[in-house]
Amino acid sequence: MERLQNYVLGSWISGEGEGSMLYDAVDGSAIASASSTGLDMEAMLRYARKTGGPALRKMSFQERGRMLKALALYLTERKESYYPISYKTGATKADSWIDIDGGIGTLFAYASLRRKLPDQSFYVDGELAALSKSGGFIGHHIMVPKEGVAVHINAFNFPIWGMLEKISVNLLAGVPAIVKPATITSYLAEAMVRDIDRSGILPKGSLQLICGSAGNLLEFVESQDVVSFTGSAHTGRMLKSHPKIISESVPFNMEADSLNCCILGQDVEPGSADFDTFIKEVHREMTAKCGQKCTAIRRVIVPSSKIDAVIEALSKRLDSTVMGDPRLAEVRMGALAGQSQRKEVLEKVALLSENCPIVYGNLHSANVLGSNYETGAFMSPILMLNRRPNEYLATHELEAFGPVSTIMPYNEMEEAISLAKMGKGSLVSSIITSDPKQATSYTLGAASHHGRVLVLNASYAKESTGHGSPMPLLVHGGPGRAGGGEEMGGLRGIKHYLQRTAIQGSPEMISAITQQYQPGGSTQEHDKHLFHHYFEELQVGDTLVTAKHTVTEADIVNFANLSGDHFYAHTDVTSLEGTIFTGRVAHGYYILSKAAGLFVSAKKGPVLLNYGIDECRFTKPVYPGATIGVRLTVKEKVAQEKKSEEDIKKGIVKWYVEVFDETNETVAVATILTMVKMKDQQ
């Protein structure tokens, strides 16, 4: 019998003892055994901290982002090899696509986020705080990678996505990981980690894998570590209360299964396009992954008058769903992860059905194509009806983690919101409506109890990612029962693995530490125009002070005619009474445009193009007769990789533009970006 191995201390190691037997969810045949007995968990954590951590922290965000991109490309080339393994978990091809391609897609998404991050190993957070009247003492915040380990304890339903969506974040942040997938489907995670190991893309010690039990792993976590858990609320609470988690104040991010809901808007009539959209959404969430999704719709909240229509339409759609061997093209619904999982789901349904009759489905049999009910882990979709949801509360408290949903009625939107909140915190809820008032009322009323709210109707249903799909750039998590945690969320997720530290000092010192120019910091001027310096030659703090220009009324009139901006303050001096202006005022964009005219060099040089503006403020009105000049300072530099062999080496230079008048007061500030050629093209 095949034995899964654990990836520990840079080597593949089998655990001791017999281990746990893992079975094919489709035909019940044995796949492998898995064990983590005998692994030195303390040594694994130490190896990650001493080997993986330093290697990742030496890399900049740009380098770590390119590393994720390389890994995503490598796994994309091999993704077809994971599908046959995924089918053994009971997942259909569509289910497997979510797991495999979705996981790799998250790697790509986080790789792309490097463009929003500095070419440093740390992150400068927010804006500076002036701490003295003269501006000679300021404060700021930096975020540096934690010097610990990201410990990921994952659920069984998405062995690949669950792993990749987490490590995408911690690796970009510069923190190594130990991944412990649920044992029952760990054979799929093991297959991918073997490929990751073969790639050689990740630094040694940045990823380790435990296929069996987590054992005493949490006994050795420290304050710099971060533990994340996905699974049942009961298990999550038990882990979160571990003495070491509490004594070391270890951050614990929990994403627990929750009683998510979907609301049919009062404006939606049976037979309409929106009604069909609602039925499709509920059906998909009941049958995708055989209902084994932490985001699946468990509670279907429907206007009282439309209960029968919903039951009829949903039952008809469930009738047409082919269940069976995921390898068959006709199959649209696979199996649960194992027979033990089916037993648990059936027990929960039995409890729920005491007060909520089953209106669709069979607890003891199912029509299965290409396999059979007895040897596999198949289960009929089950639809229940709770006519008194404010009295029969088990629907809001007990989750059957399978193809199981309960319909319940509401009369007014306030009641629908109240029922949604009775889940005591959910990962996601959705409402199908074309009425903006209902959408607004529900969203604002229910948001406090949900991590995500999907507002959907037929007009954009084809573009929607759906009720049950967490997206890399949006937070995934929820309050209360859902665990109170957050995953992904773009840059928000990265910050979970960074330590935010306030720093104080002079603008010059803070500029040196952050490698970003801070206003008031020291600058250096050069004889040669800054636009004639290559990327490597420019240094943070390099400054150009321009010639000056006296603004005239003709400038203002000409700019109004050129731009088409005839706002009264620029063109109608008879309309200024009661305004803050004392006379005709120059356009803010004229000031910015003139500033560019003052600091740009017309000669061809290393500057390739204007890349955009990050921020711009107009701080003082400029009237005819005022004389303006510009201080242009290198604020930050971000190197870019070549997109092809033919591409040239280049980087983005962020410039701090300060426009001042004859009194030396600032009238405008902006951060502009240029793309600058590198001198070294080797």
Catalytic-role residue among 261, 262, 290, 294: 294
Q: What is the 3-state secondary structure (H, E, C) of 227-290?
A: EEEEECHHHHHHHHCCHHHHHCCCCEEEEECCCEEEEECCCCCCCCHHHHHHHHHHHHHHHHHH
Helix 307-319 vs helix 273-287: crossing angle, to nearest 10? 50
Q: Quick check: helix, strand or coil at residue 150?
A: strand
For residues 220 and 243, what is the distance between their CA atoms, to the nearest angstrom?
A: 11
Angle at the Cα of 399 from the Cα atoms of 398 and 403, rounded to 5 degrees: 145
Burial class (CB in 10 A: 0-12, 13-18, 19+), 512: middle
For residues 445 and 223, what is the distance between their CA atoms, to the nearest angstrom?
A: 37
| CB 634, CB 602: distance < 8 Å | no
Q: Which residue has the tokens 């009941």?
A: 286
- Per the annotation, the verdict on 645 as an active-site residue is no
For residues 242 and 268, what is the distance between their CA atoms, to the nearest angstrom?
A: 48
**How many CA atoms are closer than 13 Å to the CA of 441, on its beta-carbon side?**
17
How does 560-597 read in b/e, with b if 16+ C-beta sit within 10 Å?
beeeeeeeebbeeeeeeeeeebeebbbbbebbbebbee
- Per the annotation, the verdict on 219 as an active-site residue is no
For residues 649 and 14, what is the distance between their CA atoms, to the nearest angstrom?
A: 46
How does 213-251 read in b/e, with b if 16+ C-beta sit within 10 Å?
bbbebbebbeebbbbbbbbebebbeebbebebbeeeebb
Closest CA to 108 of 194, 163, 168, 34: 168
The contacts of residue 606 (CB under 8 Å, 6+ apart) are 531, 532, 533, 534, 535, 676, 677, 679
Q: Quick check: helix, strand or coil at residue 639?
A: strand
Structure tokens that stand for 677 in this block: 């050629």
Amino acid at 681: Q
| Paired sense of beta strands 226-231 and 252-256, if any | parallel
Please report which helix (H) or strand (E) contains residue 408, including its range. Answer: strand 404-410
| CB 225, CB 249: distance < 8 Å | no
Closest CA to 48 of 168, 147, 180: 147
For residues 77 and 101, what is the distance between their CA atoms, to the nearest angstrom?
A: 11
For residues 570 and 224, what is the distance between their CA atoms, to the nearest angstrom?
A: 57
Amino acid at 326: P
Separation of first and last alpha carbons in the chain? 53
Task: Quickly count: other Cβ atoms within 10 Å of residue 550's Cβ.
Answer: 11
Closest CA to 438 of 265, 225, 589: 265
For residues 379 and 361, what is the distance between their CA atoms, to the nearest angstrom?
A: 9
Using only the alpha carbons of the chain, give its radius of gyration. 30
Task: Quickly count: other Cβ atoms within 10 Å of residue 267's Cβ.
Answer: 16
Catalytic-role residue among 190, 255, 281, 487: 255
Residues annotated as catalytic are 255, 294
